[in-house]
Amino acid sequence: MGKILDTNKAILVGVCMRPRDLDKKKASLGELERLADTAGLEVVGKFIQKRQKPDKTFYIGKGFLAEALAETSEENPGLIIFDNELSPSQGRNIEKEFEMDAIDRTEVILNIFHNHAQTREAQLQVKLAELQYQLPRLKRLWSHLDREKGQAAGSSGTGRGMGEKQIEIDKRIIRREIAKVKAELNKVFLHKETQGKLREKVKKVCLVGYTNAGKSTLFNRLTDAGVLVEDKLFATLFTTTRKLALSKGRDMILSDTVGFISNLPHHLIASFRATLKDVVDADLLLHVIDSSDELFPLYIDEVQKVLKQIEADEIPQLLILNKSDAADRTKMMFYLKAHENSILISAKNGENIDEFLQRVDAELHSADKYILLIPHTEQKIVNLLHKLGQIESTEYLEEGVQFTAIINLEDLHTFERFLRK
Average confidence score pLDDT of the chain = 83
3-state SS of the chain: helix, strand, coil percent to 5? 50, 25, 25
1 located within any domain: no
Dist. CA 352–CA 252, nearest whole Å: 20
pLDDT in tens, 254-289: 998 878 887 777 777 776 776 777 888 899 999 999
* Domain-terminating residue out of 170, 195, 220: 195
Task: For residue 219, give the nearest of 210, 232, 208 by alpha carbon.
Answer: 208
92 and 18 part of one domain: yes
Do residue 231 and residue 255 come from a single domain? yes
Return the higher-pLDDT residue of 13 and 230.
13
Q: Are residues 71 and 108 in the same domain?
A: yes
Can you give the residue range of the structural domain that contains 90?
A: 6-116
End-of-domain residue from the set 131, 166, 195:
195
Residue at a domain's end among 161, 195, 229: 195
Smallest Cα–Cα separation from 138: which of 180, 195, 103, 88? 88
Residue 13, strand partner residues = 47, 82
Give the SS3 label for residue 196: helix
For residue range 350-402, what is the model confidence (pLDDT) as tens digits? 999 999 998 998 888 777 889 999 999 888 999 989 888 889 999 999 899 99
C-alpha to C-alpha distances, 119 to 26, 131, 188, 260, 276, nearest whole angstrom: 34, 18, 12, 19, 15
Same-domain check for residues 262 and 322: yes
Same domain, 303 and 404: no
Q: What is the pLDDT of residues 118-132, one digit of tens each?
A: 778 878 888 888 888
Same domain for 223 and 359? yes
- The alpha-helical segments, DSSP class H, found in 199-280 are 215-223, 266-271, 273-280
H/E stretch holding 392: strand 390-397
**How many domains are contained in the chain?**
4
Instruction: Say if residue 330's pLDDT is above 50.
Output: yes
Is 206 inside a domain boundary?
Answer: yes
Q: What is the CATH number of the domain that holds 17?
A: 3.40.50.11060
Same-domain check for residues 177 and 317: no
Query: Do residue 387 and residue 339 come from a single domain?
Result: no
Residues 167 and 38 in one domain: no
Q: Which class for 399: exposed (0-12), middle (13-18), buried (19 or more C-beta within 10 A)?
A: exposed
